[in-house]
Amino acid sequence: MQILKSPNSCLFSPRESLASSQTLNLFKYLINRFTSEFDPMELLGRGAFGRVYKAKHKMLNNVYYAVKVVRCEEKSLREMGTLSELLHPNIVRYYTFWVEDSGYRNPELADGALSFFSRTSSNSSAKYFYIQMELCDTKTLKHWIVEKNKESLQDSKRREEGHSITEQIVSAVEYIHSKRHVHRDLKPENILFGLDGKAKIGDFGLVTQDDDGDDNALMERSRERGTHSYMAPEQREKKYDRKVDIFALGLIYFEILWKLSTGHERAEVTELISSLTDLRTYKCDVRISFF
């Protein structure tokens, strides 16, 4: 007996459709440029905007990169656009980027490739940037400061190393400003150390263009972009310029050279400096360990 199917009837059962979808997702995974050209070695970090992997290039012997995987958003475009213009020994080097239809997670950190792609493919319009960058040490300037704070106050290496690190950061910021950019989020967590030991500024997600070459020109900005504890007073308003980076540099330099034992103590010093730059008097009762 012949069974006639209506034109709208499903040719596959739900189970067969799911299997077909998973096969397609696996195929996408296999032809993904990231997994085709690189061997992902280690998850270096994750956050709200994406993940960063240590990856070995398959065609080059013992050559490693950091590959950042993020959703296609304005923040990511801004970061890539800026990095492509910057080439400085104290700025994390950018090499290239490409776009994929899906993100990536190490199967060891998820429930396998199939389950990951079945989740990410639920939004078929989602695109992902893969940003190939210089591989740096996982230790940031924040880690360096924490380690130094545990050591004896008589350790003269802190001052010597601190001056060297500061000179490198200042050189990078000067270069960024020469290219008419404002970083807006300078802090110890965003300063990395290259495999060559040099300090390198990273995370340009909040960078903005300073279109006017006049240092005194104040630009309209988005209010309160950046990390609050390193934010210049004027950065909480809509008008500010590249000097907000210099303010953050001063706070970072303070932390590099002097031991602030607690977060509360550090917050009080930050408030003190902010108040002084705002031309107000402030009574200081903070104990700081000087060298």
198 and 130 in a single domain? The answer is no
Which is nearest to 30 in space by CA: 131, 129, 114?
114
pLDDT at 56 over 80: yes
258 and 167 in a single domain? The answer is yes
73 and 174 in a single domain? The answer is no
Between helix 112-120 and helix 14-31 the angle, nearest 10°, is 100
In this predicted structure, which of 21-25, 220-224, 235-239 has the lowest mean pLDDT? 220-224
In this predicted structure, which of 96-100, 138-142, 215-219, 248-252 has the lowest mean pLDDT? 215-219
Q: Which helix (H) or strand (E) holds 146?
A: helix 141-149
Q: What per-residue confidence (pLDDT) applies to 172?
A: 96
Report percent pLDDT > 70 for the chain: 59
Cα 95 from chain centroid? 15
130 and 141 in a single domain? The answer is no
pLDDT at 54 over 80: yes
Mean pLDDT score, 210-236: 57
Cα 192 from chain centroid? 10
Task: Give the torsion sign (CA, 236, 237, 241, 243).
Answer: negative
Q: What are the angstrom distances between the C-alpha of 57 and each of 39, 132, 139, 193, 252?
A: 6, 11, 23, 21, 35
In a domain, 287, yes or no: no
- For 261-284, b/e burial (b = at least 16 CB within 10 A) is eeeeebebbbeebbeeeeeeeeee
CATH code (residue 75): 3.30.200.20
Residues 280/261, Cβ–Cβ less than 8 Å: no
Q: What per-residue confidence (pLDDT) applies to 224?
A: 47
160 and 69 in a single domain? The answer is no
Structure token digits, residue 133: 């960058």
In a domain, 77, yes or no: yes
In a domain, 5, yes or no: no
pLDDT at 259 over 70: yes
In this predicted structure, which of 125-139, 162-176, 212-226 has the lowest mean pLDDT? 212-226
In a domain, 190, yes or no: yes
201 and 174 in a single domain? The answer is yes
* pLDDT tier for residue 204 given thresholds of 50, 70 and 90: confident
**pLDDT for 13-49, tens place per residue?**
555 554 555 555 544 544 578 888 888 888 888 776 6
In a domain, 8, yes or no: no
Q: What per-residue confidence (pLDDT) applies to 118?
A: 35
CATH code (residue 270): 1.10.510.10
151 and 61 in a single domain? The answer is no
Domain boundary among 109, 134, 159: 134
Q: Is 185 a catalytic residue?
A: yes
In a domain, 10, yes or no: no
122 and 216 in a single domain? The answer is no
Distance (Å, whole) CA 125 – CA 52: 22
Q: What per-residue confidence (pLDDT) applies to 208?
A: 73
Which is nearest to 93 in space by CA: 202, 244, 17, 227?
202
218 and 247 in a single domain? The answer is yes
**pLDDT for 109-159, tens place per residue?**
443 433 333 344 445 567 888 999 999 998 999 999 999 988 876 667 888
Task: Give the torsion sign (CA, 52, 90, 227, 241).
Answer: negative
Domain boundary among 82, 115, 134: 134
Q: How many domains does the chain fold into? A: 2
HSE-CB of 278 using CA atoms within 13 angstroms: 15
Q: What per-residue confidence (pLDDT) applies to 260?
A: 67
In 3-state terms, what secondary structure has residue 68? strand
Q: What per-residue confidence (pLDDT) applies to 100?
A: 86
Q: What average pLDDT does the chain have?
A: 74
Report which DSSP code applies to 230.
G
28 and 121 in a single domain? The answer is yes
Q: Give residue 100's domain range.
A: 17-134
Domain boundary among 68, 99, 134: 134
Name the catalytic one among 39, 185, 196, 245: 185
In a domain, 7, yes or no: no
Report which DSSP code applies to 289.
B
68 is in an annotated binding site: yes
Which is nearest to 141 in space by CA: 93, 205, 190, 185?
190
In a domain, 12, yes or no: no
Q: What per-residue confidence (pLDDT) applies to 67?
A: 92
Q: Which residue has the higher pLDDT, 164 or 285?
A: 164
Report percent pLDDT > 90 for the chain: 27
Q: What per-residue confidence (pLDDT) applies to 27?
A: 47
